[in-house]
Amino acid sequence: MEKKARWIVRLLFIFYMLYIACAIASNRALYGFLLLNTFLAYIPIEIAMHIKPKQSTWIFILLFILWLLFYPNAPYVLTDLFHLAKINPYDATTGLMVFKLKMWWHYGNLVFSALISSLFGIWSLSHVSEVLAQKLHHDHPFFKFGIVIILTIASSVGVYVGRFLRLHTVYLFMDPHGVMLELIKMWNGRMLAFVIMISVLQLAIWLAMNIYRSSMNYELNHHND
């Protein structure tokens, strides 16, 4: 990601979080948790911006571990969309959708956070996977895709942990023993089904972004020819 693009992404998150903070301060925020969740989702994106192919191996390993710990917070925000259930958009008499600006304001807050967190989060997934493949001296597309699948499954497990066990990444540093006990007990069929669904969702977004990027490169090369 170019330097200009990195700052655009940073400012996008900063302005959104300041906006949510102001809404919380004025007691107008229906979804106050968006401030923390969006901030946690932004952390792996910022970390990924500092991961580069030519940096030292030890710095890469440190940044990669930090990214891996925080990355599940990015797709996690997609599960916040279930909070839309608090909004009743239909008229009780006619059954038609009503037009209330406050209702759409709350809707926009949730969707905006989910979009920027998931899209730029998937960018970080793609970027980290490519750099990791280069570090391992394997540039074959299938090898890169294998890395993406492994990281996606790992992050989906993290989403499950955060959503249903209510364990945030920082708990790993505060109570590692307690977290490990919870992780050992969580495995069951429904948990695996959830992990598969979230993994498929992430892979679909990753695939869409890569198709778009390939199409743009093709159009650019075709235009230059």
List, in sequence order, every residue forming a beta bridge with 97; answer none if it has no partner.
Answer: 90
pLDDT above 70: residue 85: yes
pLDDT above 90: residue 179: no
pLDDT value, residue 102: 83
Cβ within 8 Å of residue 86, ≥6 positions away:
30, 106
Round to whole Å and give the CA distance between 21 and 16: 9
The whole-number average pLDDT for the span 21-26 is: 87
Round to whole Å and give the CA distance between 68 and 84: 29
Ranges 127-136, 165-174, 180-189, 206-215: which has the least confidence: 165-174
Round to whole Å and give the CA distance between 41 and 17: 11
pTM: predicted TM-score of the whole model, two decimal places: 0.87
Helix orientation angle between 57-70 and 34-49, rounded to the nearest 10 degrees: 160
Ranges 38-47, 94-103, 202-211: which has the least confidence: 94-103
pLDDT above 70: residue 169: no
Burial class (CB within 10 angstroms; exposed 0-12, middle 13-18, buried 19+) of 132: buried
Please, which pLDDT band fits residue 119 given cuts at 50, 70 and 90? very high
Round to whole Å and give the CA distance between 151 and 145: 10
The whole-number average pLDDT for the span 21-47 is: 88
The per-residue pLDDT of the chain, averaged, comes to 88
pLDDT above 90: residue 122: yes
Please, which pLDDT band fits residue 225 given cuts at 50, 70 and 90? low
User: What is the number of residues in the chain?
Assistant: 225
What would the pLDDT profile of 39-75 be if each residue is shown by its tens digit? 999 999 999 999 998 889 899 999 999 999 999 999 9
**Region of residue 27 (phi > 0: left; psi between -120 and 50: alpha; otherwise: beta):** left
Please, which pLDDT band fits residue 222 given cuts at 50, 70 and 90? low
Rg of the chain in Å (alpha carbons): 19
pLDDT value, residue 41: 95
The whole-number average pLDDT for the span 142-152 is: 93
pLDDT above 70: residue 224: no
Both tokens of 105, joined, read: 């304001």
Round to whole Å and give the CA distance between 72 and 153: 10
